[in-house]
Amino acid sequence: MEIAVVGAGAMGCRFGAALHSAGHQVQLVDPWVDHVAAITRQGGLLVEDESSSRLVELTANLPADGTGSPTLILVFGKAMQTASLIGAVRHLITDTTVVLTLQNGLGNIEAIAQFMPVDRIVAGVTTLGTELLGPGRIRSLGDGDTHVMQADGRQGSTVGTVLAAFDGSPITVDVSPDVQIMIWSKVAFNSVLNTLCSQMYAPVSALPAYPEFWTVAGGIIDEIVQVAAAENVTVDGAKVRQTIAAATDPEMSGHHLPSMLQDLINRRPTEIEHLNGEIVRRGRAHDIPTPHNELIWHLIRMAEATRDQRISELPH
């Protein structure tokens, strides 16, 4: 199968390497010039794990230079990049191309649907962990689960294309009718941990040190549960709380810094608009108040706007 991975950061590269191992012709497509150049120069992607390092012979192109007519396109990258990434590779999309998104946040399906019919879009979630070590290098972090479903809610040939692509790869992909619940539950998880860690400039394990942590987290979650219900998605708030409690356990999370905090530190745009910001907008559309999410949304946007003036030490 001819496959393109668009937005070939840490996760995109890991999935691309897995699909290559299943015998497919895989190209990585990314706007990061140094990353593409390193993969080309090396003759592939360097993939590390706990015990070894190997070169996976993948090709890499900038979006405008992507070639072929892929049967399957995987979209990774930040949610705010989805429309621009797909738009930049629209020349690769044919009348039979299937697109798979495993991105965080809300609005990715809608962004992709600007360029192709929704019945050829597959959405899902993954718990795989991966680090981008530098241009052309990633580290795989253990195993995880990946669940998908057609964006139109059906189980037809579109999702069948995705299952066929991963058959024989080291990544197991399952079809689940609960994918929308999983997506919204992950949004709730990230809308708490990503944002609060970013406000505190602290790892996830530090949050429960504040005795009223669950007062704040619970307010954010409860609002998301209400907005999801208005969109016919049943999110189990208690289960989200359990997942967050497990993630904040120091033995589980260690000193993990969420991606949003890393983006703030590295002066990159965050995904706040596709997390709490999207909850606020959808809440307004359904006349559901979302004061906790709205405050967090404003605070993260304020942190982005003022980060160049952040004080790290007292003036002398």
pLDDT by residue, tens only, the chain of 316 residues: 999 999 999 999 999 999 999 999 999 999 999 999 999 999 999 999 878 899 999 999 999 999 999 999 999 989 999 999 999 999 999 999 999 999 999 999 999 999 999 999 999 999 888 889 999 999 988 888 999 999 999 999 999 999 999 999 999 999 999 999 999 999 999 999 999 999 999 999 999 999 999 999 999 999 999 999 999 999 999 999 999 999 898 887 667 788 899 899 988 999 999 999 999 999 999 999 999 999 999 999 999 999 888 887 888 8
Phi first, then psi, for residue 32 (nearest 5°) are -80, 105
Placement of tokens 């962004």 in the chain: 111
Contact 289, 227 (CB under 8 A): no
Fold of 2-176: Rossmann fold (3.40.50)
**249: which residues sit within 8 A by CB, 6+ positions away?**
205
Residue 254's pLDDT is what? 60
Cα–Cα distance for residue pair 254/252, rounded to 1 Å: 6
DSSP characters for 4-58?
Answer: EEES-SHHHHHHHHHHHHTT-EEEEE-S-HHHHHHHHHHTSEEEE-SS-EEEE--
3-state secondary structure 82-144: HHHHHHHCHHHCCCCCEEEECCCCCCHHHHHCCCCCHHHEEEEEECCEEEEEECCEEEEECCC
CA dihedral in degrees (147, 232, 110, 273; nearest 10)? -90
Going by C-alpha positions, the residue among 192, 234, 184 that lies closest to residue 213 is 192
Residue 52's pLDDT is what? 87
Residue 306's pLDDT is what? 93
Cα–Cα distance for residue pair 45/135, rounded to 1 Å: 9
The type of residue at 296 is I
Domain extent listing, the chain: 2-176, 180-309
Fill in the DSSP letter of residue 80. G
Going by C-alpha positions, the residue among 64, 75, 72 that lies closest to residue 94 is 72
Backbone torsion region of residue 222, taken as left when φ is above 0, otherwise alpha when ψ lies between -120 and 50, otherwise beta = alpha
2-176 and 180-309: same fold? no
**33: which residues sit within 8 A by CB, 6+ positions away?**
62
Cα–Cα distance for residue pair 226/21, rounded to 1 Å: 42
Residue 111's pLDDT is what? 96
* Count of CB atoms situated within 10 Å of the CB of 65: 11
Contact 76, 105 (CB under 8 A): no
Identify the CATH class of 180-309.
Answer: mainly alpha
Residue 131's pLDDT is what? 87
Query: Pairing state of beta strands 72-75 and 2-6?
Result: parallel
CA separation (Å) from 107 to 77, 111, 128, 203, 288? 13, 6, 21, 27, 19
Residue 28's pLDDT is what? 98
* Count of CB atoms situated within 10 Å of the CB of 226: 17
Cα–Cα distance for residue pair 123/103, rounded to 1 Å: 8
